[in-house]
Amino acid sequence: MTQPSAQHARRRPASGWRRGAKALAIALTVAVVAAVAVGGFYAWSLSQRLQEAAVPLQDAPEQPPALSEYGEPFTVLVVGTDECDDQVREAFGARCTDPENDGTRNDVNMLVHVSADPRRVTVVSFPRDLELPIPECTAPDGTVFEGSFKAPINSAYGAGGLTCVAETVSQLSGQSIPFAAKVSFGNVVNITDAIGGVEVCIGGDGIDDPDAGIDWEPGPRVVTGYDALAFLRTRKGIGDGSDLARIGNQQQYLSRLVNKLRSDEVLSNPGTLIGLANTAVNNITPSESLADPIRIAQLAYTLKDVPFDDITFVQFPVVDDPDDPNRVVPDEASAAILWDALERNAPLALTGEAGANGGVIADPSAPAPTEPAPVETTPAPDATDPTAAPEVVELPSNVSGSKADQATCSAGNG
């Protein structure tokens, strides 16, 4: 393992960043709870800025938001793109200057499913190297993409923008997607800084990844600014060095982000909340259905009391692509179990690893789990009774993931 310097200084990233950054866009979904704290002229200002960048969605709700609780189940697609913003252009070097690296890709694609009565949250991450059909799409400039029988999911944004990514994921999942938002490299830097950073856990032999520009030894570490983006992007420094391993690492960040946003440190600080709302609005490209701070506040407010063991992060199940060893294709049988469970609002039990391809390990500093108290056996729910609570669904082992109350660490390979 390369020994870190005394100050653990980050490296300048190596050139050839073709794989793009992993901007963890989910920060948007929970960060906008700050909108609850704003009103009057400030809310109008946020709305104006959102509407200027908004794009249409096929499944957007027809009715405008009202000042009432949002009681329906819903999904939000959060897309992270590998654009070279001003905040990161210099640090990324050749990634932002090499003509061969032109084009914007949707390298992070997460579908946030929020059920109702009771509320449960499931975040489904789709691997960047997933091959699937891309439907016919119309780009913002009016250019029509005729569709593709088989293409990488991260080519959808280049084909037709955020709308095309939403239609692609909807076609794959069978889920209606009424809300969506896109964030980029620099957006993630700004959003993370707005909450004062996120403490992550570096495990194993530490992370030594020249491509991401970091060399960190094991232990807890608060990541802010560019370091947060580098942590989300690292691939070669964790697990088996694959994109699938990286997803588990991103889910660790996401889980710890949710915990921080639900803490008194953020929710009880009006200045932090208002600053977070302002930062979120300035750093997203929303669907037209999300271009209103009232709607954002409604959706964010639904997350405030969801138990951490009902917030689940999973990776969409895949199998190796028989035509390309470097790609994957959907495991339709396993995916059907996941989608059916979400449709029925069934509690989810994870049977696989916390992260695919060795990306994360259990946090050794976390309290040891306690044995559950014995429970009396009760009859199974009556399938004919529409009010009966659904049984827990055990997801297939290749639906890897973790719960928000499950502490994990990066499986650094040094």
Least confident of 180-189, 228-237, 284-293, 375-384: 375-384
User: Taking Cα atoms as reference points, which of 37, 34, 24 lies closest to residue 112?
Assistant: 24
Least confident of 163-167, 224-228, 254-258, 261-265: 261-265
Confidence of residue 311 (pLDDT cuts 50, 70, 90): very high
Residues in CB range of 228: below 8 A, 6 or more apart: 188, 189, 192, 197, 198, 253
The per-residue pLDDT for range 371-389, each reduced to its tens digit, is 444 434 344 445 455 556 6
Is 101:93 a contact under the CB 8 Å cutoff? no
Confidence of residue 36 (pLDDT cuts 50, 70, 90): very low
For the chain, report the end-to-end CA distance as a whole number of angstroms: 5
Q: Quote the pLDDT of residue 126.
A: 96
Give the chain's largest Cα–Cα span.
65
Confidence of residue 265 (pLDDT cuts 50, 70, 90): confident
Three-point CA angle 313, 227, 7, nearest 5°: 130
Q: Quote the pLDDT of residue 295.
A: 82
Which tokens belong to 29?
Answer: 């979904």
The whole-chain average pLDDT of the chain stands at 80
Is 92:13 a contact under the CB 8 Å cutoff? yes
Neighbours of 30 (CB within 10 A): 24
3-class SS of residue 403: strand
The residue behind tokens 């914007």 is 104
DSSP letters along 313-352, please?
EEEPPEEEETTEEEEEEE-HHHHHHHHHHHHHT--EE--S
User: Taking Cα atoms as reference points, which of 347, 323, 350 lies closest to residue 334?
Assistant: 350
Least confident of 6-15, 100-109, 380-389: 6-15
User: For residue 117, how far is the Cα from the chain centroid?
Assistant: 23
Q: Which residue has the higher pLDDT, 190 or 312?
A: 312
Is 208:2 a contact under the CB 8 Å cutoff? yes
* DSSP H or E segment with residue 110: strand 106-114
Q: Quote the pLDDT of residue 92.
A: 63
pLDDT of 155 above 70: yes
pLDDT of 177 above 80: yes
Supply the pTM of this predicted model.
0.82
Q: Quote the pLDDT of residue 218.
A: 95
3-class SS of residue 362: strand
Neighbours of 159 (CB within 10 A): 24
From CA 229, how far away is CA 215, in angstroms rounded? 14
3-class SS of residue 188: helix
Is 75:124 a contact under the CB 8 Å cutoff? no
Q: What are phi and psi of 76, to 5 degrees?
A: -130, 125
